[in-house]
């Protein structure tokens, strides 16, 4: 990897997100570790969205649906272990994260294919609205489905387990989430530089060009949308375990908006844009949230500033324009 300015910044961000919680844990500040975990999980969710939005130019305003499905996968599977009631086909549920993640990723992949197959027949504002509509449908379904807590949500009494790790220790759980995040950022990087990534980004830049070399943009976009959904769904499963709670709010349009905001703050389509965005977001939330309940007003001002004066987000501000090879 050549050490461009952006790569150095990425490395610094990656180390910062690792070193701060390690130090905080040493100093006996578990709350800081929890904040860092929140950053890692939100960054993971936004990295998923960044595949559709950043690389593909597909402004999905409904990615909370995948975040929520991932969360409910964790909550539902765990709840059956506790209640002792088997699920369908005599399956007893699971409190093993690895299995839960597989369920979350498969469920979100299928949901992504179904929602994408219909939504991708539209573009622009219609695409934004139709993805929002799908997410709202699932949101209201979750609210009105009493089996898993309905509006009140579903508690995960004991955090799900991962072999060799005590997930109840905040630092251990953080390291697990951080590891998953780094692996997924690596996948994002591979995807972006691959043949598939070339076609996906070209379709964002110029759809007609892609079609006239003989590649159908629809198939490329649908695949990207499903992969994007899977990654965001994985983040949802971790988020539910972080909070030991899942509720329909994970599915709400606020959540979809929050993910878009993270990406724009950090830098659309940039490898570490979601990480930078999640850091800014969570730190604002914590720092300003302690002073005023209306911290989102100030977040709005900052977002306005980014959109008007720093289109590449924080990464763009620090590293300059993106290079595409």
Q: Which residues bind another protein (CB under 8 A)?
A: 190-191, 193-199, 201-202, 205-206, 208-217, 220, 223, 322, 324-325
316 token code pair: 């763009």
State in angstroms the smallest separation of the CB of 239 from another protein: 26
Supply the DSSP string of 306-325, one letter for each residue.
HHHH-TTHHHHHHH-S----
Pick the closer one to another protein by CB: 68 or 267.
267
Pick the closer one to another protein by CB: 156 or 199.
199
What is the rounded CA–CA span in Å between residue 163 and residue 229?
A: 26
Pick the closer one to another protein by CB: 76 or 210.
210
218: exposed, middle or buried (Cβ count in 10 Å: 0-12, 13-18, 19+)? middle
Polymer length of the chain? 325
Pick the closer one to another protein by CB: 166 or 206.
206
State in angstroms the smallest separation of the CB of 218 from another protein: 9
State in angstroms the smallest separation of the CB of 194 from another protein: 5
State in angstroms the smallest separation of the CB of 204 from another protein: 9
What is the rounded CA–CA span in Å between residue 58 and residue 51?
A: 9
91: exposed, middle or buried (Cβ count in 10 Å: 0-12, 13-18, 19+)? exposed
State in angstroms the smallest separation of the CB of 61 from another protein: 24
Which strand (E) or helix (H) includes residue 109? helix 97-119
Residue given tokens 């005023």 in the structure block:
292
State in angstroms the smallest separation of the CB of 186 from another protein: 10
What is the rounded CA–CA span in Å between residue 277 and residue 33?
A: 18
Pick the closer one to another protein by CB: 40 or 222.
222
Pick the closer one to another protein by CB: 190 or 304.
190
- Show the CA angle centred on residue 30, arms to residues 25 and 36, nearest 5°: 85
State in angstroms the smallest separation of the CB of 184 from another protein: 13
What is the rounded CA–CA span in Å between residue 185 and residue 115?
A: 24
Pick the closer one to another protein by CB: 72 or 188.
188
């Amino acid at each position: 990897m050549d050490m461009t300015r952006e790569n150095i910044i990425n490395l610094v961000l990656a180390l910062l997100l690792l070193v701060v919680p390690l130090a905080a844990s040493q100093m006996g500040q578990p709350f800081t570790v929890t904040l860092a975990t929140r950053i890692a999980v939100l960054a993971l969710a936004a990295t998923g969205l960044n595949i559709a939005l950043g690389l593909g130019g597909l402004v999905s305003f409904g990615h909370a649906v995948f975040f929520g499905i991932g969360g409910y996968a964790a909550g539902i599977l765990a709840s059956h272990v506790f209640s002792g009631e088997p699920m369908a086909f005599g399956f007893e549920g699971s409190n093993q994260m690895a299995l839960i993640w597989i369920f979350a990723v498969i469920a979100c992949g299928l949901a992504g294919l179904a929602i994408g197959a219909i939504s991708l027949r539209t573009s622009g504002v219609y695409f934004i609205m139709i993805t929002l509509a799908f997410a709202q449908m699932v949101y209201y379904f979750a609210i009105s489905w009493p089996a898993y807590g309905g509006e009140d949500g579903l508690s995960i009494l004991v955090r799900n387990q991962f072999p060799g790790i005590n997930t109840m220790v905040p630092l251990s759980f953080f390291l697990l989430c951080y590891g998953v995040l780094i692996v997924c950022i690596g996948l994002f990087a591979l995807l972006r530089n691959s043949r598939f990534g070339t076609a996906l980004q070209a379709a964002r830049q110029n759809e007609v060009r892609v079609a006239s070399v003989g590649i159908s943009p629809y198939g490329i976009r649908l695949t990207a949308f499903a992969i994007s959904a899977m990654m965001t769904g994985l983040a949802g499963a971790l988020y539910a375990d972080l909070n030991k709670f899942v509720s329909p709010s994970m599915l709400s349009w606020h959540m979809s908006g929050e993910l878009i905001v993270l990406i724009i703050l950090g830098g659309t389509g940039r490898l570490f844009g979601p990480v930078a965005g999640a850091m800014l977001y969570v730190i604002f939330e914590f720092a300003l949230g302690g002073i005023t309940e209306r911290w989102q007003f100030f977040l709005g001002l900052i977002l306005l500033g980014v959109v008007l004066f720093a289109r590449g987000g924080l990464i763009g501000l620090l590293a300059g324009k993106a290079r595409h090879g």
